[in-house]
Structure formats: structure tokens, C-alpha cells
Structure 1
Amino acid sequence: MPYLDACEWLKRRLDEQWSQQLRASFLAPKYQPAEIHEFLYQLDTRIVLTPNFDRIYDNHATGQSHGTILVKKYSDQDIVEYIRRGDRLILKAHGSIDDPHRMIFTRNQYATARTEHASFYRLLDSLIMTNTVLMIGVGLDDPDFRLLFEDNRARFQAALPHYMTFGGTPNLDLVQTARETMGIKLLPYSPRDNHTALVTSLKSLVDKVSDERTALTRTMDW
């Protein structure tokens, strides 16, 4: 059973209790950041795009940055202004638990958002076209992201790949499909011990990014 259909039916069944259920699932548990959130923050990427509704990383990053990292939702009209100013942003591609009624959760909400907020998807398309994207903790099934990467791959087949971490050992067909149809290179790791290998790899990446930034300050070769 497709997840989007299941969400659609669940929302219909819960009716006026839908928002309450969302808050109980994503807000009330008072989730705390984990070590992986700190390493993601230390990568210091200018734009973090997340499909997550919760505020775990948002709260951690804004707290660590003393509020200099801004959180913007897909429905905000001023995102481009902050991107062009060079601000550091967290883009909530599917909305936030702060505003349950604007969360993109069901098949109908996905379809509506693509029409009513087409400018946001054009922005994502531009970011994917002009940047290398590293995807962590997401899958290949999100219909919006899949369509964006497929379109970019079809238009720019010679472009360098994007990268996606993958817990487990993907079969060869999946590896080839991701690369050929979406321009995504899978980075497999063992998900054992609560994804310890992923956390260790991110720490190593943080160290390498730090070394490269130090080198840039010496060479001034921006």
C-alpha cells in the first residue's frame, strides 16, 4: 500500500484530530539532537534542505549558531532574498510541525503544493542544477525529489553526480537506476549498531572539510 495513500486515508479518518495526532507524533516527545546532528551542523553547509517535519535539527542548528541560521518553509515568499544575500538556511521542503495545516503529508497535499508553490520547486531545480547535493537519511521514494532529480538528469546527462547515503547493500540494478535516471551515486554503509558507520563517516567528512577550509585561507583560491 503506497504511503501517500495511507496518509491520505489516515488524515480523512482522524478528521479534526489530525493536527493533534501530528503534534503528538512530532512535537510532544521532545526529541533531543543526536551526535549526527552535531556533525551535520559542523559541515557548515550554506543550505540544508530537509523533508522532515520535526524541529530536531532546526533547534540544534539555530541554537548553536545563536540564531544566525534561518529556517524557511516551502510556502515562504522571501527564500530567494536570503539565498542571494548568502545567509545560511534550513529549507523545510514539506513544511514544519509548527504549522500542521501546511505540512505536505498526503498525495493530495503533494499535488496541491506542486501547483500552488511552483516557484519553490523551480528554486529547488536551480539548486540541484548548480550544486552537488549530499543526501543523508532520505530515500529514493519521495515523489517531489525523485521528479526533480530525474528532470535534471534528463537535461544534463554529462553532469557530475549527486550523492546519497544508503544503509545496507543495494543491489546492482538499484545502483545503476539511481545513477542513470537521477544522477545519484549511492554511498552504502552498514546500518548496524544504530548507524554507527554513518556517524563515523560524517565525522571524517567534517575533519576533511575543516582541513580544506584551512588550506583555502592560505591559498585564497576561492
Structure 2
Amino acid sequence: MSRNAVVAPGQQVPLWDDLGRELAADLQDYPYAGALDAVSAYAHEYGRPRMVERVADALLINEARPGDAHRAFCSILFDIVCTTNVDFLLERQYGATSRHCRPIVDEDHLAVNDRTNTTALLKLHGDVHHPARLVLTEEDYDGFLDKYPLLATYLANLLITRTAVLIGYSLDDPDFRQVWQVVGERLGKSRRLAYAILVDAKGTDVARFARRGVKVISLPGSRAKYTHVLATAFDQLREYMQTHLIGASHVTEEEPLTEFSLPQGAVTRLCFFAVSLGLQPQYRDQVFPLAERAGLVPVTAADVIAPGENYTAKIDAIMRRSVAAVVDVTTQNTILELGMLMGMQKPLQTLVVVEEGTVLPTDLANQRIARRAKGPVADQPKLLHSFDEWFRGVAADIQPRLAEEPLRLLGAHEYRAAVTSAITHLESLLRTALEKEENLLGRAYALRSLAGLAAKRGLLTEAEHQKLRDWMPVRNMVVHSQESVTRAKATEIVRGIMAIGQRLRPNA
């Protein structure tokens, strides 16, 4: 990975063997016997401080900057990254984005239970800013398991419970390989598969990794374009995660499930709430009904049970499917979630809620702000009014797109999505029309109830009401199964609902 750094013309970050040869060139009468031997001989000849300085110079620590491969890699929301590189290219790239990393260099760093949405960067071999922790010489490698047993145990646990993907890594380091071997001996065939991503892999590379229990993923392309090939692969992996994570998750609430069943890129009514666990009961009781009255669908991270333990990837996937967000910035988690929202290429309409007396950072100057007192939300009518007003504004902004979406999806032959989009759009129109006469709080007023009330009030004819009752099972089938919908049935539902909608729309 470090080889993909951006450096001055004529310079290049050395590979491990290149580094060994550079140091060997400074030794007199030394027959080169491999990088590890050369680095060890250099440390013995000139002392460890000088060896660290020479390695830092050779690795262009101060000059090298992250390249395209680093940019693409760090855009993937991994929660844990392990590296044996001793430079700072990953830290610099994470620092250039809204995604931060937390380096783990010493064993005492493992005791810090950081629950924020960051990437834990496990630097197995330390770095040049921690000379005593560097693992570069024979003595360092030989003593690793004895000197850092907790790091070895932590790494072993990751290899037991996670699927390891090796990138730009040869699996030659004796300390890592020893841990990998122990895991294999103890678990046998139960050990998880590991993968290595290589560019234009040779047969000898595939065989060497296979001997060590690792499957090779060979990316097509020239090794001369290694950076471009890796960057493209990382970009594709990030897009795949963003597109498929929700589909592989379990959504616990019916209304968000319906919205998530729409294809990527379709307009939804989802409003993401980033709220601390302590405040969530108040929000669900007092604020969610206001969003629902406006025709939006509240969703929180707790409503989506995603595979694995990558909380940030789940949050990112939810945000990308939402049209708006409410962030109550009371915890480090919600502050970082706000940072993720602000860092999106297409920022959502966002309402930032802060406690009264909070000093806002300058980068929030252009955000819509609502101030909340420390008491119960139910006792703050001005705050609730501001929520209600904001939700209605968001709903009004997306209403034209929601009206066009069913026909667009029908034209794109997305028949399942067209049915879902049409019926959810009608639900929003019915709620708006009925709200003129009385408040309809909560999800108790689902589509079937709304349709019944609309029929009683004459907003729907009996024939339309009956058709809607016939169409709702089709929508339910789409949301809860993978069964297909015929073009004829989708056209019937979409055209029928569009006709009803023409009468119900306020400006019709």
C-alpha cells in the first residue's frame, strides 16, 4: 500500500526488500542475505536510533503523501484495519476525510473502549514515532509474542471472529504468520477463510498463499498500473457495500422496511434520527409522530440490524437512503454522525438539535438549528412546533419527486418498486388530506386505516376504496418477498393511484 504514495519525481517508496538493500549499501563488506538480516545488521552496526532515522528517511516519511489507492481504501467504512507498515499514510488519508482513525500502537491502547464511529488502526509493528515499539529487526520479530502477548491475542481474536482480507501483504512476517498458524492449528477446518487481493497474480503467488491457507483474488490489469487497479477495486467495493448492506439487514419496523424495499437511487420518505439512547424514548413518543403526520418515515440505527459489527457502515447506508436527518448533538457518536452527514456528496436536509447554552462550532453556521432545553421534550411546545414546521417543509420539498417516482420506475421496468412507490405516495396524500380535519398521530393510522377514513369522508369512492384494498396485498408481497409483479398489474396500480392522486393533491 505504501508504494502507492505520491512522491516527488524520481522518488519511490521502497518495498521491504528494497529497504533492506538500501540499508545494506551502507554496510561495509556485507553480503546481502535478505531485508530482515540487513536491517538487523544495520541496527547492530550503527545502533537502533540511527537505524530508525535511516528507515524513516528511506520510507520518505515526511515527503510521501497518500495516493489514489489510499483515498479509495479509506473511503470504505472498515471498523478495524491492521497494518504492519510503519509510516503514517493511512492516518494522513483518514485525517483528510470526515472519517477519523484511532491508532493502536501499544497494548494499553487496547484498554480504551472507544465507541465512536472511527476506524481502529492496529499498527502491529509500531511506527517510526515509537522507536521502542518498532518491529524491524530479528530481535524484534523473535520477541514479539513474548513482549506483546495482548496484541497477539487481540490479533488472534480478530482472525477467529472476522474474515481477513490481505492487501499488499505477503504474509511473510514471522510474527503474523505464527499467530495465523496457531489459529489454524486450534480451529482446523473451522478457521475462517482469508483472502489476499493481488494484481495480475502469478501461479507461484497463488500457490504460496494457498499453502498458508489464504485464497487469492487476482485483479485483472497490469502491475505497472497497480495504484489505478487497486483504487478502482476499492471504489467498487465501497459502492457494493453502500448498495447491498441494507438488503442483507433485518429492518424491525414495517414503515422503514417498505421504504428500504425501493431500489437504490429511488426517492424515499425516510428521515434518519441520530439521537442518543437516553433521548430516544422521548423522540419516539413526541417527535416521531410529527414526522409521520408530515408524511415522513422516521428511522434510527436501532431499527436496522445489519450483519457484522460495522456500525458506521450501517449508518452510512441508512443516510444514503434517507431524504432528511435530525441530529441531536449530545454525544460523541451523534457529533460524528453529523460529520458524516456534512461530508456526503449530496447532503441531506438536516435539522441540528442542540441543548440551550451550547456554543456551536463555526462550521454549523449554515445549518438549521433547533435549541432544546434540558427538561422533557413534551414540555417544550416551541421546540415541538419547530419540529412540526421543519418536517412539513421537507415533505413539501419532496412531494413533487414522490409524485413522479412511480411513473419513472414503471418506465424503467422496476415494477415491484413502482407499486411500492405509488402506494406509499398515496398514503402520504391521504394523510395530508385527512389532516385538514383532524390530527392523525402515530403509525396506528396505517394505509388500511387511512383508506377507510378517506372512504367515510368521501375522499375515495367506494370503487376506489375496493381497488385500493385489492392493491395493498400486492404491495405487502413486494415488501416481504422476492416475488415478481407483472407489467400489467404494476401499470394498473400505478395508473389507478395516479388518477386518485390527481384529485387529492392540494394544488389539483
* Bucket of the pairwise TM-score, normalised by the shorter protein: 0.7 to 0.9
Q: What is the CA-CA distance between 1:165 and the residue it aligns to? A: 1.2
In structure 1, distance between residues paired with 2:173 and 2:85 = 12
Letter in 2 for 1:186: V
Q: What is the CA-CA distance between 1:80 and the residue it aligns to? A: 4.4
Q: What is the CA-CA distance between 1:110 and the residue it aligns to? A: 1.1
In structure 2, distance between residues paired with 1:193 and 1:26 = 20
Matches within 5 A, 1:68-217: 68-73=100-105, 75-82=106-113, 88-156=119-187, 157-171=189-203, 175-176=206-207, 178-179=209-210, 181-189=211-219, 190-195=221-226, 196-215=228-247, 216=249
Q: What is the CA-CA distance between 1:24 and the residue it aligns to? A: 1.6
In structure 2, distance between residues paired with 1:3 and 1:28 = 19
In structure 1, distance between residues paired with 2:65 and 2:139 = 31
Conserved in 1, the CA contact under 8 Å of 2:73 and 2:231? Answer: no
Q: What is the CA-CA distance between 1:72 and the residue it aligns to? A: 1.4
RMSD: 2.5
Q: What is the CA-CA distance between 1:30 and the residue it aligns to? A: 1.7
Distance 1:126 1:26, change over 3 A: same
TM-score by length of 2: 0.40
Letter in 1 for 2:201: T
Q: What is the CA-CA distance between 1:112 and the residue it aligns to? A: 2.0
> Which moved further from structure 2: 211-220 or 105-114?
211-220
Q: What is the CA-CA distance between 1:25 and the residue it aligns to? A: 2.3
Unaligned runs of 5+ in 2: 1-32, 252-259, 262-303, 307-508
1:41 aligns with 2:55: no
Distance 1:119 1:30, change over 3 A: same
> Which moved further from structure 2: 144-153 or 42-51?
144-153
Q: Deviations over 1:139-185 (max 9, x none)?
A: 1211122122222222221334111112333326x535533x53311
> Which moved further from structure 2: 35-44 or 13-22?
13-22
Q: What is the CA-CA distance between 1:63 and the residue it aligns to? A: 3.6
Alignment partner, residue 8 of structure 1: 40
1:55 aligns with 2:85: no
In structure 1, distance between residues paired with 2:194 and 2:131 = 31
Q: What is the CA-CA distance between 1:191 and the residue it aligns to? A: 4.3
Conserved in 2, the CA contact under 8 Å of 1:133 and 1:162? Answer: yes
Letter in 1 for 2:199: G
Conserved in 2, the CA contact under 8 Å of 1:72 and 1:90? Answer: yes
Q: What is the CA-CA distance between 1:136 and the residue it aligns to? A: 0.7
Q: What is the CA-CA distance between 1:41 and the residue it aligns to? A: 1.1
Distance 1:175 1:153, change over 3 A: farther
Q: What is the CA-CA distance between 1:120 and the residue it aligns to? A: 0.8
Aligned partner (choices 22, 28, 42) of residue 55 of structure 2: 22
Distance 1:85 1:60, change over 3 A: closer
Distance 1:126 1:160, change over 3 A: closer
Secondary structure of the structure 2 residue equivalent to 1:144: helix
Secondary structure of the structure 2 residue equivalent to 1:94: coil
Conserved in 2, the CA contact under 8 Å of 1:152 and 1:182? Answer: no
In structure 2, distance between residues paired with 1:125 and 1:40 = 23
Distance 1:59 1:209, change over 3 A: same
Distance 1:85 1:32, change over 3 A: closer
Unaligned runs of 5+ in 1: none
Could you say which structure has the greater relative contact order, defined with CA pairs below 8 angstroms and 6 or more residues apart? 1
> Which moved further from structure 2: 56-65 or 78-87?
78-87
Conserved in 2, the CA contact under 8 Å of 1:178 and 1:184? Answer: yes
Q: What is the CA-CA distance between 1:23 and the residue it aligns to? A: 2.7
TM-score by length of 1: 0.86
Aligned partner (choices 32, 46, 53) of residue 65 of structure 2: 32
Conserved in 1, the CA contact under 8 Å of 2:68 and 2:231? Answer: yes
Larger Cα Rg: Structure 1 or Structure 2? 2
